[in-house]
Structure formats: structure tokens, C-alpha cells
Amino acid sequence: MATRINKYLSEVGYCSRREADRLILEGKVTINGKIPEIGSKVEESDLVEVGGQRIEKSTKQKNIYLAFNKPVGIVCTTDRKVEPNNVIDFIKYPKRIFPIGRLDKLSEGLIFLTNDGDIVNKILRARNNHEKEYIVKVNRPINSNFIQNMSNGVEILDTITKNCFVKQLGPKKFKIILTQGLNRQIRRMCEALGYRVRSLKRVRIMNIKLDLPTGEYREFSKDELLELNGLLENSSKTYD
């Protein structure tokens, strides 16, 4: 039975479907020696390679779900040739995994890593409205106007951000809970209001809270995974 190439790479645990599409566009994926198009399909007998490395379906592997406390300076990428300070080399996990979403290089905190490509887009897709919580410090004192403006939406990247929960925690510190993930969203929101982010830490994704020292990781507990799957039950796999 033929399978779309991005789904194939996801199912074998090589990368997410979104990442697979990026690799295809960059010409790094081949099927029987030829560069495919987005949406091309793979038969069981086909030879699939990424960067010259043969990718094969093996016996159904156990799904891996890790919570990692990313330090500042580590980049959330699997491209080890481009970025030496990448999350994969830092963790040195014995099996192939990839990050779900990103935290930029200057940010820290919770990020998930997995070999389950199907779960990635369920968590990341904006219209699934899954919460991500951050603690942010800025360069100068904030006030009620700042909190209200951040909560009601800020114009960035030719759009207005979704309404979100924002609470002041100190003179220059606040908590924010987002259900979307625009590029460098919090930093851009603050900059649009005349502030600069001094530190940004993600402390929760959906039901899973950050409870690790910086630079360490752990597997999801059975209860966490059960609750997470319940939250994802009605989420779309298709990405925007």
C-alpha cells in the first residue's frame, strides 16, 4: 500500500511530517534515486534515502516521549551539520528523536522530544488551542496597560495575536499563556509595545509542567501520557 513520503518518514520515526516536507523541498530526500515532490507516495519496495542515508521501516518501534529543560544557547534542530549547539547532540539520547516545536536560542525551558511523528502536528497546530505557559522578564517596569495590551492581542507579522492570559508577577516580570506559536511571538509582542525581553522560560506545555534542572530530561509518566492523549483525542493531525 502506497504511503505519502512525509507520512512514511514520520512513521519510521525519522522526523515530523512538517520537517519531512522541508527536507523534500531542500532536495535532501530521494525515492529510488529521484527527488520527489511534496505529496509523492512510497511503495514498500521503494528505496528511500535522506542525505544519502537509507531509511527503512523496521518492526514497530516503541514511542518515546521526553520532557527536556533546554538551556539558553541550545538550538532546537536535528540538523547537526548546520548547528553544533543542537539539542540532539546535547542530550545524546541513544535512539533517534526530534523536538516538537522550538524554543529560540536565547530562550530556555520545557520542550518535548519524540520519535512519534503523528503527535507533533496535533500539539503544534494553532487551531487545536493547546496551552503553552511562559515566565518572562523584560528590561523596564510593566504596568496594567502593558498587561491589557498583551492580553488583547498585539499586531506582529502582519496579523494580530490571539487573546491570551497575562498576569504580572513582579515589576518587570509576567506570566503569559499562549495557544498559538508565531515565530518569536512573545519577543515580538514585547518589542511592539516598546519592551525588550531579558529572559524567557517555558514552564508548561498542556498538562506537563517543567520540573527538571536545566539541561536534564525525563520520560513522560504514564499518568501524564494518558492525560495528554486525552487532551489530544479530538485534535487534528493536519498542520496549517
What is the Cα 146 distance to its own chain's centre?
27
Dist CA 141 CA 145 (whole Å): 11
Query: In terms of DSSP bridges, do strands 108-114 and 197-205 run parallel, antiparallel, or are they unpaired?
Result: parallel
Catalytic residue among 79, 104, 211, 223: 104
Residue at grid coordinates 528505496? 47
Q: What contacts 177, CB < 8 A, 6 or more positions away?
A: 131, 132, 133, 134, 164, 165, 166
Query: In terms of DSSP bridges, do strands 98-100 and 165-170 run parallel, antiparallel, or are they unpaired?
Result: unpaired
211 given a catalytic annotation = no
Q: Phi and psi (nearest 5°) for 155?
A: -80, 115
Q: Collect contacts of 231-238 with beta carbons under 8 A, ≥24 apart.
A: 231/130, 231/206, 231/207, 232/119, 232/122, 232/123, 232/128, 232/130, 235/122, 235/123, 235/125, 235/128, 235/130, 236/121, 236/122, 236/125, 236/127, 236/128, 237/118, 237/121, 237/122, 238/121, 238/125
Please list the active-site residues: 104
